[in-house]
């Protein structure tokens, strides 16, 4: 039996920009189960990134409850949410978000370094991940010396390094050419399934939609389930 890992109850989110309020989510209820691979599609500006930011605690809901692993994010303060994110969530961004002033190895180990949990085993794990993603020889480079595909592979390794239970990926191939993108996505899928992690990914890649357990989209400020065939 699979347990729910992400739960939305009556979630609402409004942005206020330049004096006008802009409703993104209205009374959303959803459950995502452990080990599920969920793909989120939808047109630009519909709120996909906002949803990921709400799950990771980068953003806060105005109303409703977000529960991750049975813990309510709404009850946490900024610092607690940062610590929670650091422990439970691995993030893959469209623009990779590698830190330009850190070497590839440091970028990879950053989530562990920030919590001071670095040890022999984790370094070994880092080398292992770099090996699997075939960027082993790049560990002492700085990000600007790497190609886009290589940078995204490092970002994927970084999202996995601290063994989080949830992986959030926001258009991870948006900046890559198709072939490189496919390559990166299948690697990500493989690694996530291998570890039995839960993943929510924003993407438009048809091939990935084929791999997903569920496909969601945002319509009229609500989350709507799509059939894979739709």
Partner 1 sequence: MNPVLLRSSLNFFGRHPWQLFLAILGIALGVAVAVSIALVKSSAEESFAHSTQTIVGKTTHRLVGGPDGIDESFYTKLRVEYGLRNIAPIVSGYVKATVGEHGETLILLGTDPFAEGDFREYSKLKEEQADNNVSVLTRLLSEANTAILDQKTAERFSLLKGGSLKVLSGGQQKSINILTSFDSESGDSIYNLENLLLSDISTAQEILSMPGRLSHIDVLLEERSPFDEHDLRKLLPGEIELLNAASQNASLKQMTSAFHTNLTALSLLALLVGMFLIFNTMTFLVVQRRTLIGKLRALGASRTQIFFMISFEAFIIGTIATLLGLILGIQLAQSLLMIVGRTINELYYFLPDTSLALNAGILIKGSLLGVFATVIAAIPPALEAAGVHPSQAMQRSALESNARTLSARASLGGLCCLIASLVLIQLSGSSIAQGFTAIFIIIIGFALLTPMLTLLSMTLLKPLLGKLLGINGRQACDSVSSSLSRTTAAIAALMISVATVIGIGLMVNNFRFSVNHWLESMLRADLYVSVAGPTSSASNNTLDITSLQQIKQLDSVHEVSTVRRIQIEATTGRTDLLVYGLNKRAYEGFDFKEKAADDIWQAFEQL
Interface with partner 1 by CB under 8 A: which residues?
A: 17-18, 53, 58-59, 78-79, 82-83, 85-86, 91, 93, 97, 99-103, 106, 109-111, 113-116, 142, 158
Residue from 25, 36, 41, 47 touching ligand ADP (CB under 6 A): that is: 47
| Of residues 2 and 101, the one with the C-beta less far from partner 1 | 101
| Of residues 48 and 138, the one with the C-beta less far from ligand ADP | 48
Q: Of these partners, Mg ion, partner 1, ligand ADP, none, which one is at the site of residue 100 (CB under 5 to 8 Å by kind)?
A: partner 1
| Of residues 17 and 78, the one with the C-beta less far from ligand ADP | 17
Minimal distance, residue 166 CB to ligand ADP, in Å? 18
Minimal distance, residue 99 CB to partner 1, in Å? 6
Q: Is 93 in contact with 40 (CB distance < 8 Å)? A: no
Residue from 1, 2, 17, 196 touching ligand ADP (CB under 6 A): that is: 17
Contact between 46 and ligand ADP per CB under 6 A: yes
Give how many residues touch ligand ADP by CB under 6 A.
12
Q: Of these partners, partner 1, Mg ion, ligand ADP, none, which one is at the site of residue 47 (CB under 5 to 8 Å by kind)?
A: ligand ADP
Q: Of these partners, ligand ADP, Mg ion, partner 1, none, which one is at the site of residue 31 (CB under 5 to 8 Å by kind)?
A: none
Interstrand relation of 63-68 and 222-226 (parallel, antiparallel or unpaired): unpaired
Q: Which of residues 38-97 bind Mg ion (CB under 5 A)?
A: 49
CA distances to 26, 110, 162 from 97, in Å = 30, 12, 17
Helix 120-132 to helix 104-115 angle (10° resolution) is: 140
In the complex, the residues that contact ligand ADP under the rule CB under 6 A are 15, 17, 22, 24, 42, 44-50
């Amino acid at each position: 039996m699979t347990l729910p890992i992400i739960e939305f109850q009556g979630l609402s989110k409004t942005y206020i920009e330049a004096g006008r309020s802009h409703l993104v989510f209205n009374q959303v209820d959803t459950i995502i189960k452990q080990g599920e691979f969920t793909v989120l599609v939808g047109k630009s500006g519909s709120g996909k990134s906002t949803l990921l930011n709400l799950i990771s605690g980068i953003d806060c809901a105005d109303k409703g409850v977000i529960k991750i692993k049975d813990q309510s994010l709404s009850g946490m303060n900024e610092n607690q949410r940062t610590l929670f994110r650091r422990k439970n969530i691995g993030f893959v961004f469209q623009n990779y978000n590698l830190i330009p002033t850190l070497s590839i190895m440091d970028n990879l180990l950053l989530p562990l370094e920030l919590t001071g949990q670095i040890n022999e085993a984790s370094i070994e794990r880092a080398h292992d991940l770099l090996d699997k993603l075939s960027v082993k020889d790049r560990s002492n480079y700085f990000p600007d010396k790497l190609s886009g595909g290589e940078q995204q592979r490092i970002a994927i390794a970084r999202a996995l390094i601290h063994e989080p239970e949830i992986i959030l990926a926001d258009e991870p191939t948006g900046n890559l050419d198709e072939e490189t993108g496919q390559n990166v996505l299948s690697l990500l899928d493989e690694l996530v399934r291998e570890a039995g992690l839960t993943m929510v990914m924003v993407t438009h890649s048809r091939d990935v939609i084929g791999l997903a357990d569920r496909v969601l989209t945002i319509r009229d400020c609500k989350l709507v389930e799509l059939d894979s065939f739709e």
